Amino acid sequence: MSSVSASSIQMDYMKVLITQLQNQNPLEPLDNNEMASQLAQFSQLQQLESMNSNFAQILAITNRSYANSLIGKEVTFFSQDTATGELVQKKGVVNEVFNDLNMGESLLKVTADGEEYSLSLNAVILVSN
């Protein structure tokens, strides 16, 4: 699914508006209030897109900071047992944090029972010292 920005929608609207103005009936001109209202709505949409983008950046920074604060802490998580396929609760220490460029999120490298696991922050169910 591709997303369309408010700017591209606004540019398309302006093209339609110009065409309407060029072809309007001089005895029945377009309503100025309606045009101004529609332009104001596009402006609001652009501001909301900008806020959404800023919040996403803040969330990414906050998640990275939180992940870094877990280094050296013991975390509890579930892992699927390869033999039985059952979920098993594990405890391990966070050794490092790294950025997964494919997923666009911070992951924890955890050592538990002599094995290394890569976990997302959502996989952690408990943090202890």
- pLDDT by residue (tens digit) across 15-67? 887 887 788 877 777 777 887 888 888 888 889 989 999 998 899 899 999 99
pLDDT per residue over 82-129, tens digit each? 899 999 999 999 999 999 888 888 999 999 999 999 999 999 999 998
Domain at 70-128: CATH architecture: Roll (2.30)
Per-residue pLDDT, 3: 65
Q: Copy the structure tokens of residue 12.
A: 């398309």
Q: Rounded to 5 degrees, what angle do the CA atoms 53, 57, 60 make?
A: 135
Sorted by where each begins, the domain ranges of the chain are 6-66, 70-128
